[in-house]
Amino acid sequence: MLRGYWTIALDAKAPYAAHAERHVFFWPLYSATLETPRYSCLGFHRGYVFFATFLLQFATGSIYAIYSVSGPINVYFGFPEDSSNASNAVVISGILGILAQALLGPLVERKGPRLSLGVSTGLMVVGLLTAQIATVLHMWALLNIGVAFVAVAFGAIMLASISTALKWAPDARGTVTGVCLFGFGLGKHVWGLLFESLLDGTDATFQYLFWVLLAVLLSTLSLATLIIRLPPRDFSVRGHDMHCIPCAKAPSASLVQDEFLHVGMTLVNYKAIARHSSSLVEGTDRRYHEQVKALSLLQCIFSTDFAFLLLALISNSTVGLFYNEMTAIQVRSDLLSDVYHISDAAADAVRLRGVAADLAGRLVMPILSDICIRLLYGNPAFVRKGCFLSTFRPIR
């Protein structure tokens, strides 16, 4: 049973879905009898998916923004401002969100992004209502439960949104990833400013927090859920299919569905890796896809490539956690000022420069990697790693 869960066998879209999803909005959302929707409006373009993904990432930034106001939360629930209670709760919820992203992938792929987002939105509503009850009753344990529900929901939302957006962008994966990360970073900072204005240690202001979150997030997630969808199996853009393989060399959509996706195997493009001459160099496309293998999902996860990607992500996230801790907002003190003995104005300037660098790094470097790949015909994996490493330099 466990092995079966980690095997993704994807079926083709139903005829009704394939026809209805030519429009952004349509009704009914599902039908086993109708061939076309009863109501539809606004012709679909993949740009709408990118917009929906940006909204979803902006929304998910809210839970990480809570980390920046752990001091006011401690004060509200009667703990010392420098207590680790709020920080520990957010860290635990973050771990739950990461586990959700790691473990829910097969389920999200099977059910599709729209159903996954619908269920996640419902789970998010339950979590926020639980957290709101906890704030009214001053029940710390109940708040932890509510935030945990929200974290799991947001983990699934992040997973479904980014993976879907990348399927629509074989020609600009770096740019779309950058837009997703930019939306998340912007959401984190904007929500942080909102939380700072609400959390001043008094009961009256804190009790609005989760109501505001619920109102904004529910409307945002509902709109994005209606917009987001998977591309059709014959989707192509600028001469490349969903897997970023030139359409002239790619196998037919029916072959991919029957021989690979339907039996839980990742795509291997035999035509792209086949050698058609004795020449050692047949272009960057062949050299790049020569390394592509047909693997099951479990084989991908336990590969050395995946292990090194995980190590890089953990290392990068560690720096972010330290930054969030140092720049967190306090009610009666400022950790950044206390540790480095600088004025409040200087601390605010550090935060502002940090926000600018954070947002620029999320957006500029991924776009730059796409430009280098297109203009220099570089190996995509090598170029993206090079752009990532170029952002690091020794701090003196």
Any idea where the domains of the chain sit in the sequence?
15-227, 236-299
Residue 212 has pLDDT above 50, yes or no: yes
**Higher-scoring residue by pLDDT: 296, 188:** 188
246 DSSP 8-state letter = B
Question: Across the strands, what pairs with 37?
Answer: none
Mean pLDDT score across all residues of the chain: 78
Q: Is 39 helix (H, G, I), strand (E, B) or coil?
A: strand
Element (H, E) at 338: helix 335-340
The distance from CA 362 to its chain's CA centroid, rounded to whole angstroms, is 13
Residue whose C-alpha is closest to residue 347's, from 338, 356, 357, 360: 338
Q: How many angstroms separate the CA atoms of 110 and 116, rounded?
A: 9
Question: Across the strands, what pairs with 240?
Answer: 237, 246
Q: Are strands 236-237 and 23-27 parallel, antiparallel or unpaired?
A: unpaired
Per-residue pLDDT band at 5 (split at 50, 70, 90): confident
**Higher-scoring residue by pLDDT: 291, 338:** 338
**Higher-scoring residue by pLDDT: 122, 210:** 122
Q: Are 17 and 307 in contact (CB under 8 A)?
A: no
**Higher-scoring residue by pLDDT: 238, 68:** 238
Least confident of 166-170, 269-273, 284-288, 321-325: 269-273
pLDDT, tens digit, for every residue of 299-336? 777 878 778 877 877 777 677 667 766 666 555 566 67
Q: Which CATH architecture has domain 15-227?
A: Up-down Bundle (1.20)
pLDDT at 281: 46
pLDDT (mean) for 69-89 = 80
The two tokens of residue 160 are: 């479904």
Q: What would the 3-class secondary structure string for 347-363 be?
A: HHHHHHHHHHHHHHHHH
Burial status of residue 170 (CB atoms within 10 A of its CB: 0-12, 13-18, 19 or more)? buried
Q: Is 178 helix (H, G, I), strand (E, B) or coil?
A: helix
pLDDT at 395: 47
198 DSSP 8-state letter = H
pLDDT, tens digit, for every residue of 113-152? 999 999 999 999 999 999 999 988 888 999 999 989 998 9
pLDDT at 201: 52
- The half-sphere exposure of 365 on its side-chain side, counting CA atoms within 13 A, is 18
Per-residue pLDDT band at 250 (split at 50, 70, 90): low
**Higher-scoring residue by pLDDT: 25, 320:** 25
**Higher-scoring residue by pLDDT: 42, 198:** 42
What does the CA dihedral 105, 109, 113, 119 come to, rounded to 10 degrees?
A: -60
pLDDT at 194: 81
In degrees and rounded to multiples of 5, residue 341 shows phi and psi of 55, 55
Per-residue pLDDT band at 260 (split at 50, 70, 90): low
Tell me the one-letter amino acid at 156: A
Percent of the chain with pLDDT over 90: 13
pLDDT (mean) for 370-390 = 77
pLDDT, tens digit, for every residue of 327-348? 665 555 666 777 777 787 887 7
pLDDT at 365: 86
Q: Are 16 and 38 in contact (CB under 8 A)?
A: no
For the whole model, what pTM was predicted? Answer: 0.80
Write the DSSP string, 58-108: HHHHHHHHGGGGHHHHHHHTTS-TT-SHHHHHHHHHHHHHHHHHHHSHHHH
pLDDT at 207: 76
